[in-house]
Structure 1
Amino acid sequence: MSFQHYWLFLPACFAVNMALGPNNVLSLSNGARYGLRYSVFAAGGRLLAFALMIAIAGFGLGALLLASQTLFTVLKFGGAAYLVWIGIKLFRSGPALLSPSVNDDPGENSAASGKLRRLAKQEFLVAAGNPKAILVFTAFFPQFVDSSAYTASFVVLGATFLLLEMVAITIYGMIGTRLGTMASDAQGFRWVNRISGTLMIGFGLLLMFVRRPAT
């Protein structure tokens, strides 16, 4: 892959990373509810899901998945239902569930570790249940892959995507943490909760209308 193509890839990729989607809404919400550390650490579940998707796309299996109407439909509606379910839970959660604990370190006690595992699993399932993510790796990446060095260039693109995704995670987590600080009272947290839940439900409903790419 030439550097010319790589430097074209970087801004396009970061735009994809920064797009407001279900996982970035989770980073915002987790930052507001639990603080920046939880938001960043929990996103490890998302990075794992994306790494697996990149590997699948690299082996050409992603295109096969998108070519199957049945698998695509199952993935689409399963992911959409999960997003709507999370959105409803967020919307209905009381302010007590949203209040960050300043002494709650993800690595200090079993309760905190259990919460972190739950949030990381949520991030993983949201990412894995979105067929648009597979589409990014099967349709977007190949435009920048060097056919003469396919494996090496795909690895570089994948590593770059994950690195920029981590930057986006941190940015959204910081914004969410700031929102949580500003909305320190019960009514403020209710609004953060309702906005996050509404966005998540909206993404779930939109996902239902995603069409399988023409083969």
Structure 2
Amino acid sequence: MSIAWALFIPACFALNLAPGPNNLLSLNNAARQGLRTACLAASGRLLAFTAMIALAASGLALALQASAHLFLVIKVLGAGYLFWLAIQLWRAPSAELASTEGAPRRSLWTLTRQEFWVAAGNPKAILIFTAFLPQFIDPNQPVAAQFTLLGLAFLLLEWLAVLFYSMAGLHLGRLLAGPRARRLFNRGCAALLGSAGLGLLLSRRPA
């Protein structure tokens, strides 16, 4: 497993750091609500990923690979949710992106739910766990134990990615002093979320 771990950790961390809707949420939440709130809200994402890893480990993700209709339903729902978030950000008042002092607070539960549904609404995430993690499994060793360790490592690296994006968002939030800067940031995030939704909607089920 030593060679597998040496390959897994950098490859996995690169995957965790890739820009995506969840990392964008952490960036945005930190700029609007602060580092602690953004990191705590990301627990919704980790919960969704934990469920996906369990699905992949149990083999249930094969149903998603085999069923074009199931994949289509999940991706349409996920894309629709991203579009809805993008519209909410685009229309939000610029004051909503002020620094954490005096900014309108959104409940931690609301932000956590957003993180969860954005992660759960991407069927390709389950397929990533199905295709990515098994590459580092030694068939001559207990598979369940290896999958558990790899899954825990993935979640730990994902949390580090959350911290990275949240810290970036925190420093970015300090630069958003004027209403115009806050409005541009708001709409930039909305455009990126909308693009992610469009990309998900146009994605195809892997063969």
Structure-2-length-normalised TM-score: 0.95
In 2, the alpha carbon distance for the partners of 1:171 and 1:150 equals: 31
In 1, the alpha carbon distance for the partners of 2:17 and 2:87 equals: 24
5+ unaligned residues in a row in structure 2: which ranges? none
Residue equivalent to 1:211: 204
Paired residues of 2:35 and 2:170 also in contact (CA < 8 A): yes
**Aligned residue type for 1:201:** G
Residue equivalent to 2:174: 181
Superposed, 1:1-20 pairs within 5 Å as: 2-20=1-19
Paired residues of 2:48 and 2:119 also in contact (CA < 8 A): yes
Alignment of 1:159 onto 2:158: no
Q: How much has 1:100 moved relative to structure 2?
A: 3.5
Alignment of 1:131 onto 2:130: no
In 2, the alpha carbon distance for the partners of 1:96 and 1:121 equals: 23
Q: How much has 1:103 moved relative to structure 2?
A: 7.6
In 1, the alpha carbon distance for the partners of 2:102 and 2:82 equals: 30
Residue equivalent to 1:108: none
In 1, the alpha carbon distance for the partners of 2:110 and 2:98 equals: 17
Alignment of 1:146 onto 2:141: no
In 2, the alpha carbon distance for the partners of 1:209 and 1:86 equals: 18
For the structure 1 residues 149 and 103, does the alpha-carbon distance in structure 2 shift closer, same or farther, using more than 3 Å as the test?
A: farther
Residue equivalent to 2:113: 121
**Partner SS, residue 208 of structure 1:** helix
- Please point out which of 183, 195, 201 is paired with 1:190: 183
In 2, the alpha carbon distance for the partners of 1:181 and 1:34 equals: 12
In 2, the alpha carbon distance for the partners of 1:92 and 1:146 equals: 50
Paired residues of 1:67 and 1:213 also in contact (CA < 8 A): no
In 1, the alpha carbon distance for the partners of 2:152 and 2:102 equals: 33
Structure-1-length-normalised TM-score: 0.92
**Aligned residue type for 2:183:** R
How well do the aligned residues superpose, as a CA RMSD in angstroms?
1.5
Residue equivalent to 2:41: 42
In 2, the alpha carbon distance for the partners of 1:101 and 1:142 equals: 42
**Partner SS, residue 213 of structure 1:** coil
**Aligned residue type for 1:82:** Y
In 2, the alpha carbon distance for the partners of 1:126 and 1:205 equals: 14
In 2, the alpha carbon distance for the partners of 1:67 and 1:18 equals: 29
Q: How much has 1:44 moved relative to structure 2?
A: 0.5
State percent identity of aligned pairs.
Answer: 50
Q: How much has 1:154 moved relative to structure 2?
A: 0.4
Aligned length: 206
Alignment of 1:169 onto 2:168: no
CA deviation string 1:37-89 (max 9, x = no partner) = 11101000000000010011100001212211111000011101111110111
In 1, the alpha carbon distance for the partners of 2:92 and 2:137 equals: 44
5+ unaligned residues in a row in structure 1: which ranges? 105-110
